[in-house]
Chains A and B, each alone.
Chain A
Amino acid sequence: MIDHTVISTEGLSKRFGDRVAVDALTVAVCGGEIVGLLGPNGAGKTTTLRMLAGIIAPSAGRAVVDGRDPASEPEKVHESIGFLTESPGFYERLSAERNLAYFAAFYGGVDAKAAAARELARLGLADRARDKVGTFSKGMKQRLALARVLLHGPRILFLDEPTAGLDPEAARNLRELIVSLREHGCTVLLSTHNLSEAEELSDRIAVFRTRLLAIDTPRALRERQFERRLRVRLADGVAPSLAALREEPYVREARVEEDGVLTVLLADPDSDRPRLVSRIVQAGGQILEVREDERPLEDVYLSLVREEET
């Protein structure tokens, strides 16, 4: 589903007085891709989304969203994007359907009432359509905010903390919805502090701290920050195998962890893995499990951010 570039930035920067919020961001996002934006508070994620959405103008550099510059043609860009803002603001004294119909009516060619009814049903809020938004829980407001973003069938979504305040079930439903939108060709930029959510949803992850620290697939980011180690669990203890392994030229390091599992660093984790397994078996080891020691994304993220700090 991933095709041509639909979002690109070149040296995109934003200053507020002396403070640099976003520093020379250059990135390209393909159609149908989900890119997760990670970074500490104040890292510039929301400012970046706001610049891409044409809500604030960059201090330098430029962006192109769906073929248009959001700084010079914000209203045109708004026709093709949906922006879920950090706080799901609504007119609380009015009903959910009135709120949605109001926002839908700003888009050309959209039947506001029908769009409102459709999205309320999609987000499981049809039975509360006529209730005042002031009576909604935080999670319901968040779902309503997502319904608002989808009213005009946008091709590009900017989602700022979409699952904040949602209960686990609602958060899961929302993640499934995001995946299904991607399957229909929607491109998503997702700002989140939830690392497992970012990993589950994103094709690529961008780590920010005012400037872009890294952007790649979760796996590539791991490999970039940490060496790939194999964890081998043996039935009969590791001591004989460990001694034999250390003699092998492709084994760069082998040690026994506190939980008794053997961890091995190979010269080439993919091609050397079968040789390692044969060698352990040859040495009399009984293998119960061999798997890659996958570091959590949190470690990758913290490592990148701390690297930047130092």
Chain B
Amino acid sequence: MKRRIWNVVRMEWAGMAATPSSLLFLVVIPLILVAQALLLSWIVPRFVNPAILGPTAADASALRLLILRQFPFFVLLIPAMVANVFATLGIVEEKVSRTLEPLLATPVRTWELLVGKILSGAVPGLLVAWVSAALFVAVGHALGWGSQLRLVLTATFFLDVLLLMPAVSLLSFILGVIGSSRARDAKEAQNLAVLVIFPIFALIAVQVTGLVEFTPVRTLLLSLAFFAVDAVLLRGAVRLFGRESIVTRWK
């Protein structure tokens, strides 16, 4: 079982390595997101018009802290996008190149194939997100924001990175599978699966507006809710990924 799953993972990664654009995506998107977050944290407090902030405005340091606090949710975009792209690439390619039927004639089980694909997409997505978070913190420290970062690196932050991120990464991959099962090509699949971005934007909006304060308990509950949604959607994805649909309906 492990051997067959690992075989799928290795093959997926070999396919990615043979596709420079996917590797570029793996590096460029996280870098852009981290750079964007750092730039915002640096520029906004420095150049914001005091007239906009009004008489009760916080100082620059408090404003930066507000922006830094968005980062844990902002960085969720990374595993979501990376896993999504890898899911669509991994499945649509099978569909277009008609490799699924020969694959299903081997002793690999459908769930092993799917788990292999999930790991091959979600693990790089997560790793890149963790590296991005570490990079963000390291650069923040280098820029002298240590005292503000200490207020960000709370239990909520670590729950976000260790629980919410995997849940979102999984959700993104599953939506990628569902999108790919319905789509004719990678572009169409990504268009469908990009819907995963919207809940993340909603989280960012909720955080920015201060409507909900993300305490450790709430973050934990949110992560569990995402995992529950993952479980429900996974059932649907497995059904769509059934052998019969693949060989008779996937065109």
Using CB atoms and an 8 Å cutoff, list the residues of chain A in contact with chain B: 16, 50, 53, 55-57, 74-76, 78-79, 81-83, 85, 87-94, 98, 102-103, 105-108, 145, 148
Contact = CB atoms under 8 A, between A and B. Distances in A.
A81 B97 CA distance: 22
Contacts of A78: 105-107
B107 A91 contact: no
Interface footprint category on B = 20 to 34
B53 interface: no
Contact of A92 (B97, B108, B109): B97
Nearest to B4: A106
B206 to A, nearest CB: 42
Given A78-B107, A79-B107, A89-B97, A148 B102 contact: yes
Does more than half of chain B's interface fall in helix, strand or loop, or is it mixed? helix
Contacts of B4: 105-106
B204 to A, nearest CB: 36
Given A105-B7, A106-B7, A89 B101 contact: yes
Contacts of B15: 91, 93-94
Contacts of B106: 78, 103, 106-107
Contact of A89 (B98, B108, B244, B248): B98
A85 B14 CA distance: 24
Contacts of A85: 98, 101-102, 105
B248 A102 contact: no
Nearest to A49: B105
Nearest to A57: B244
B154 interface: no
Contacts of A93: 15, 18-19
B102 A145 contact: yes
A108 B100 CA distance: 20
A100 to B, nearest CB: 11
12 contacts: A53-B105, A56-B243, A78-B106, A82-B105, A88-B102, A90-B97, A91-B93, A91-B99, A93-B15, A105-B7, A106-B4, A108-B107
A74 B113 CA distance: 15
A78 B108 CA distance: 9
B159 to A, nearest CB: 38
Contacts of A53: 105
Contact of A75 (B7, B107, B247): B107
Interface of B: 3-4, 7, 11, 14-15, 18-19, 93, 97-109, 243-244, 247-248
Given A91-B97, A93-B15, A103 B244 contact: no
B231 to A, nearest CB: 24
B11 A91 contact: yes
A50 B97 contact: no
A36 to B, nearest CB: 20
Contact of B105 (A83, A91, A105): A83
Nearest to B103: A103
Contacts of B108: 75, 106
B102 A83 contact: yes
Given A75-B109, A98-B14, A103 B102 contact: yes
Contacts of B101: 55, 85, 87, 89
A90 B99 contact: yes
Nearest to A86: B101
B242 to A, nearest CB: 10
Nearest to A134: B97
A47 to B, nearest CB: 9
B99 A89 contact: yes
Given A50-B247, A87-B98, A148-B102, A106 B18 contact: no
Contact of A94 (B18, B98, B102, B243): B18
- The 3 A-B pairs with the shortest beta carbon distances in the complex, nearest first, are A89-B98, A83-B105, A89-B99
Contacts of B247: 50, 55-56
A81 B101 CA distance: 14
A264 to B, nearest CB: 51
Which of B99, B105, B107, B244 has the most A CB atoms < 10 Å from its CB?
A: B105
A108 B107 CA distance: 9
A85 B104 CA distance: 11
Nearest to A53: B105
A145 B106 CA distance: 13
Contacts of A56: 243-244, 247-248
A79 B11 CA distance: 21
A106 B4 CA distance: 6
A55 B11 contact: no
A81 B107 CA distance: 10
A281 to B, nearest CB: 60
Contacts of A83: 102, 105
Contacts of B19: 93
A94 B14 contact: yes
A83 B14 CA distance: 25
Contact of A16 (B18, B102, B103, B248): B248
A52 to B, nearest CB: 11
